[in-house]
Structure 1
Amino acid sequence: MTSSSLNEVAILISILFLPHWGFVIITGAMTAVNAANELQLFSAVSHGVSAAMAWLVYHRFFSRFTRSRQEPILWAMVVILYYYLFLLPQIVGLYLLFDPNPMPATHIISVFFVNMTPELFATLLITLLFSIMRQELLSRRETERALAEKEERYRIIAEQTGQLIYDLDVTTGAITWTGAIEINTGFTKGEFLRVDLKTWETMIHPEDRPNAISLLDEAMASGNRYRVEYRFRKKDGGYVFMDDNGLFLRDEKNSIYRMLGTMTNIDERKKAEKSIKENVERFEIIARATNDAVWDWDARQDKVWWNESARKLFAVEEYYPQDNYQLWQERLHPEDRERVTQKYKNVLESTQNFWSDEFRFRLPDGSYGYFYDRAYILRDEQGRPTRVLGSMTDLTERKKLEQNLIQAQKTESLGRVAGGIAHDINNMLAVILPTAELLLNQNYDKHTVHQHADVIVSSARRASDIVKQLLVFARQTPSSAALLNINSLVDETRNMLDRFLGKNITITLHLEPEIPFIDADATQVQQIIINLCVNARDAMNNKGSIGIETKMVELDEAESAKYNMPEGLYVQLSIADSGTGIPPEVMDKIFEPFFSTKDIGKGTGLGLAVVKTIITNHGGYIRVHSQIGVGTRMELGFPVSQRVTIPHVQAQKPQYETGTGTILLVDDEKPILEMGEMVLKRLGYQCYTAENGYRAVEVMNQKPVDLVILDVQMPGMDGIETLEKLLEIKPELKFLFTSGYIGADRLQLLHSKYPDHIVNKPYTVEELSKAIKKLLDTQSAG
């Protein structure tokens, strides 16, 4: 090939790879170097201009076809354009200008074709070969670039997943590693690439190594997926938990030759699992160690887990086929069931996450114990309960101690007001006795007798009311919450306070009308009022004023946090006095048992301790405001009942109930027998009397009796024993018990066994007549 054809090839190469300015410089330089005269120099310029024009044509019209299958053909077209369209006209013009003996243009062209055609074909061949080689080179570069991008993308993704990714050559044991190597192991990628199968085995924790290798051998033999967890040694010598997950590839002979897999760092998961396991073990130990009945209700599956104490309490296995809510509900005391279940339901339907309550609960032996139940509620995104965890604490023994404390304080309170009570009763007796003597010793007309009798009846009723109030207040009965209108209780207690506190104490009431009902034990709330008013009297040295106020308040979030009470509505009972006030230095001690500022012998220090106990048991709060020389104000809050309130029903005017039949009256007090016989005959009944149980049995054997009225407490054979003997004689006999006062246990037994067969002394003719009529009408209906 001539130097000219090499120049053309160089020009074409420069068209492909160089920008325009580089192309012009190289082509011009290459042709100018070989120029021997002015003609050849201009010829070099013509080559350069033609090449430039070819370059422009290619890059203007054909460059978008680069790297396509048409590229070699396009290059052939460019070469032909270069020779015949651009170079030929310039060569003809140059010869005509510079040759002293120019040949005809047609001759020049024919010479050009003869001389240049071999070079043209050589150039075309070289160009085609070069274009094909260039296309292959560019294609390989593009493939390598795409592969490098994929590898980089794969590396980034692998590192972002936090996994180690490996490719094991099963035959040689060599492993190719990628992914988050340094993050998980502490080794650099270059250091870790030296880890092969044998090294990998040594880096597994000695305790985990046998299992990991054994499972790998089994997986290789079977071709199944490899999955194992083990501790893997890091660069610093520590270990990290890894989840190794790999699968095997087979060749055309179905032989395993390669294993691809990932190693995932599960250190945090293992720590969480360990923590959960420790917490579960700790919970189970606590659940076994505690005497509380611990339960865990899965609301979605309606299954309950019970600890041993709960299973004993409910007398069930761990999973009970019956509805667990119903199982709990049916064991609540009937008097507590509505209140407790309504409060529990309200909490579940709200957004609250805590519930607690106290109630009586039936034990496996049929008796009832006091329990404090509380639960924490877990909810889903929609606020629906998904799980409820709780525990029931047996308060029975504590309640007995509290009851003893309350009873002791009642006794103290009665002692402190005994003088006032005695004074009132003596005043009434001072009316009754002389009036009765006048009736016995004087002959009065019928109208005067009726006037004196009205005075006796009125005074006797007042004395009876005082005794009844004292019996209710002093009675040792279990706490029982019921719907209570606190205004009515304050009005009722006011009558007692007027007698207890003396004439020098002024009591004013400020009661908010339409006050909501509360769930409370009326006797205990009345004890609170009496305790605080008696304390107020003592603080005022038996002279001053006491204000009693009721109103509804609402605890907001701040007050709720301050007093550690749930937010919501409360009925607040306030008792204020005009006494000396409480010194600030003892304010924090006033609710401690046996703490008292009174002189020895004037108080036990149980009054305010009992008040706080009662308030706490009712789920309420107590606040004290006191100023020296001004007085003290006690504010007691009771949660508003969530049950439907019961409207007050006005009592109807009492009426006597008359009837017919034979009644046996049994009492060890002769005056009661005489008065009772007279009353029963006036009501229309035939009456027999007996002064004791033995005499009652004799009468029963001799006379036909429809109903027997028995005093519970009699010497020898008491009322209950007497009834048993009489029922042996006549099983269908109707009966009615009367008693001035009996112990709490016997009273509770009678009320539970014979709820409609008791009339308390002193009773009115109306009360007695209605009780008799009810029993005899039942007999007639039967």
Structure 2
Amino acid sequence: MANNQQTSRLAGKGIKKLQVKGSKSCNKAPARINEGSDEGPEKPAVKVDYRLLKSITDTMVNPISYKDKNGVFIGINKSYADHIFGLPEEEIIGHTLPGICTEFAESFNKRSTESRISFTDICREWDQSDMELLRSGENETHEQEVTLANGTTGVFLVNKSVIKNENREVLGLVTVLQEITELRLSEKALEESEERYRIVTEQTGQFLYDNNLEKNKLSLAGAVEEVFGYSKQEAMKFDLGDWIKHIHPGDREYVFNRFMQARRTGGRDRVEYRLRKKDGTYIDVEDTGTYLLNHNGEVYRVLGVVKDITEQKLIRKQLEESEEKYRSFIQNFKGIAFQLDENLNPEFVHGAVEEITGYSEEDFMSNRISWKDMVHPDDQSAILKKIMRIKNSPYAYNTEFEYRIKRKDGRVIRVSELYQKIPGKDGKPDKFQGAVYDITEKKDAEEALTEMKEARIKEIHHRIKNNLQVISSLLDLQAEKFEDEIVREAFRESQNRIISMALIHEELYQEKGTTTLNFAAYVQKLSDNLFKTYRLDHPGVSLLTNLQEDIFLDVDTAVPLGIVINELVSNSLKHAFPGKKSGEIQIRLSSRKESENRPDIIEHKRLEGPGLCVVVSDNGIGISENVDMENPDTLGLQLVSALIDQLDGELELKKDKGTEFIIRISKKEDF
């Protein structure tokens, strides 16, 4: 349901940013579709079939109402009457909201929300808000908790839009409600799940970090104060530079070199160093970071865990001095601690052995069961290679890896193993020691959280796509009512713009766990759809595309750029080949990096920095010499100019040998 919220905000705010000729916004244009000219007979204004509109709104589940400028209801749909008021339409239309509340005060006062606000009070607040909007001529969107006529309580997104005539005079107010109760419940459940995960990290004496290298932003969560000494509020002000200053000077160069090496290769890295706390003392920490790569193969973000291992390192020292002390500690250990000889045979195995594996300590010490035989077959090869790399190393070696094991009862669980090589001194053989933890529940929680987030994102794109398709269908139904070809063409252009946006959300819905889409695939679908739309009028016109495949864009860039391509291709199909003349339309797409290596893709002026280049051209009769892209006189070209400005791009128009539009969009880094 969050998609409706996004759509409402676009309708209330986004369109206002789209400036057209004369500094008038699109929602300030006259309501008449057939606009007469100074010469020739005036065309009649479009007549709206209100019975059709009423039947359409009655099929919608969203409650909808319409008031005149005095606050009197002059129109509502069935959902509004039945679910919001629980009254027949005739008892609402022709009355003001305070009048209806007075008439039915007794029944309305019995309805109260979970926050103890009566329905009558809510109606009074609504009326005050409505009258203020009618006076100011502004629009408003907010959330409201409402007890419905059937006694249930719901959360609604309320969108109120003032309607004005061509003289900018207020005519009335339209209110549309969208229920978002389910969305809010889902968000609450997600917050509770995240809170439980936070508590787990705090209880284990670890804290998490998220280092965004692109924004130089460092975020910390978990047992920050317990380990680091700083409060979470103080830690929120840290950046990477502040963190490096807290590393012991003797470890700083080593840690920095490890960090830079991991940035070049990506993957996972584990490093130990001394960290200065707020009180000036140093602790030993284990920093395990995962280095994430973008689509260019560059590390842009590091996610990791910092654990205080001061006590753990002390235990290692005590282990060398007294194995008995180590045994006394390990009795309450929640994992499995082990020590192996130079041939990797167990010298001791202690801890939660039976709880994790189902086997006893004696099973392993007597070789009735070998640990490697418990490793899942799909993981055995990789784990064996890591162990042999540790064994053959001439130096001390610390590492950590995760894999699956099969318990005695046949159940497969996931474990994390800390593995350390202790080189022998004075001719003594090497020793190997470490610990194994059951991380099955942690991994299951992480996967469930990831799946929940992915499902929410997919659902949002799916609902936006469906809503846009409904709007397109309504435009199609309404267009059939008109015989005037100019009006029908206006409806068709609006449909194509909506379809261009719907295709983006359809592509994002198909992707898994991503907020970007393959723009080349989207452009191909968009252009194919446009050619199907205009195929009967231009059967001899063909499409040629040359699109770089590895360009991925987010919604904020893809939507306006998609509309621009839609307008330019539509313009060529409508005007470049009069009299059903044959011809060719080309669309070319390339990033700056690719265009440097492929002059056949973009032969024009090179981008001065990282960015994207789109070329839409045709070999038709050419665009009029009077067209000025700085001040275009058609809605389509006004849209193109405004949207390119929105993207901080530049537009070049060439009029020789047909028409060619070249769009360049610069970004901080290559697409």
Normalising by structure 2, what TM-score?
A: 0.34
Structure with greater proportional strand content:
2
Structure with greater proportional helix content:
1
Normalising by structure 1, what TM-score?
A: 0.30
